[in-house]
Amino acid sequence: MRFQTSRTTIACEDAGHGTPVLLIHGFPLDREMWNDQLRGLSASARVIAPDLRGFGESGPPPDVMPMEDYATDLAELLEILAVDRAVVCGLSMGGYVALAFHARFPERTAGLVLANTRAGADSDAARAARLQNVKRAYAEGAGAIADAMLPKMLTDATRAARPALASGVRAMMARQTPDGLAAALRGMAARQDRTADLAGIAVPTLVVTGDADTLIPPSESALIAAAVPNARLVTIPGAAHLSNVERPEAFNAAVASFLGTIQPPR
Ligand code: MLT
């Protein structure tokens, strides 16, 4: 389905009934990365998985997409879907957007799932690398970015044992547009440090990581879990950066158990 917001068109899946769960994809991906969650969680929850602006089938982005602007698009989407409050679940860049969503719309956030993400801003070196990748996306295309990122998305063992899964993840990354990648890279480079917000998060929070995540190491998740009051931390064994794709049963079990602790919507 595609929905018109005040600033763009957002494509999204909306499946199941129960507590609304908003699934925010990472970079450079789209809503397809949540297929196993749409299948596995929609029996007990309402699972909403949009494409962020500039990705998948959503509308084109401006030159820079601040994390707060992605969050505002999603708040408008929830309004269109008549969802007052949702559990906001983001992986990696999706986690940056989830933290921005909570900061801007705390009353609309029923809980947070922060998967394979970090609260801090980019270092100078990380920022410089982003801007190099902007150039690379335009010069060489999304396929070059996909080839560079794939080894960090899934473990070596999974890429060897499940080539169709690995080529599906590569294809998802390679079909994104240079404009979408550039806007997100510039937005991530400029994003604010949310570390100081963590102690004030008053909604139930689940932090998920993979023990083989080298892109955002488990130590970053441990920092978030230590700072957010009463947060739960789940470390998924045998998972790299895309823990929900690589170990969907473990990821879904962690989220389902967490949702069981959250008040259903009135
Ligand atoms: C992601 O998976 O969303 C990105 O790798 C996050 C990042 O580059 O900081």
pLDDT of residue 12: 98
d(CA 91, CA 209): 9
Ligand 1 nearest atom to the CA of residue 116, by list position = 2
pLDDT in tens, 130-155: 999 999 999 999 999 999 999 999 99
pLDDT of residue 172: 98
pLDDT of residue 233: 98
How many angstroms separate the alpha carbon of residue 82 from the centre of ligand 1? 30
How many angstroms separate the alpha carbon of residue 262 from the centre of ligand 1? 28
Measured by CA distance, the residue closest to atom 5 of ligand 1 is 27
Is residue 95 within 8 A of residue 71, CB to CB? The reply is no
Ligand 1 nearest atom to the CA of residue 149, by list position = 5
Average pLDDT over residues 33-55: 97
pLDDT of residue 189: 98
pLDDT of residue 265: 59
pLDDT of residue 183: 98
Q: Within 6 Å (CB) of ligand 1, which residues are found?
A: 26-27, 92-93, 188, 215, 241
pLDDT of residue 81: 98
How many angstroms separate the alpha carbon of residue 121 from the centre of ligand 1? 12
pLDDT in tens, 51-102: 999 999 999 999 999 999 999 999 999 999 999 999 999 999 999 999 999 9
d(CA 20, CA 141): 36
pLDDT of residue 111: 98
pLDDT in tens, 211-230: 999 999 999 999 999 999 99
Ligand 1 nearest atom to the CA of residue 25, by list position = 3
Measured by CA distance, the residue closest to atom 9 of ligand 1 is 93
How many angstroms separate the alpha carbon of residue 25 from the centre of ligand 1? 10
Q: What tokens does 157 get?
A: 């063992």
d(CA 48, CA 169): 20
Ligand 1 nearest atom to the CA of residue 241, by list position = 2
What's the mean per-residue pLDDT of the chain? 97
CA angle 252, 202, 97 (to 5 degrees): 60
Q: What tokens does 144 get?
A: 């070059």
pLDDT of residue 266: 55
pLDDT in tens, 9-25: 999 999 999 999 999 99
How many angstroms separate the alpha carbon of residue 90 from the centre of ligand 1? 11
Average pLDDT over residues 104-127: 98
Q: Which of 85, 90, 76, 77 is nearest to 191 (CA)?
A: 90
Where helices occur in the chain by DSSP H, the ranges are 35-41, 67-80, 93-104, 124-140, 142-153, 156-161, 163-174, 178-189, 218-227, 243-246, 248-259
264 pLDDT higher than 60: yes
How many angstroms separate the alpha carbon of residue 130 from the centre of ligand 1? 10
How many angstroms separate the alpha carbon of residue 16 from the centre of ligand 1? 28
Ligand 1 nearest atom to the CA of residue 94, by list position = 3
How many angstroms separate the alpha carbon of residue 116 from the centre of ligand 1? 9
pLDDT of residue 38: 98
Q: Give the burial class of 203: count Cβ atoms within 10 A of its Cβ; 0-12 exposed, 13-18 middle, 19 or more buried.
A: middle
Measured by CA distance, the residue closest to atom 4 of ligand 1 is 27
Express as a percent the part of the chain with pLDDT over 90: 98
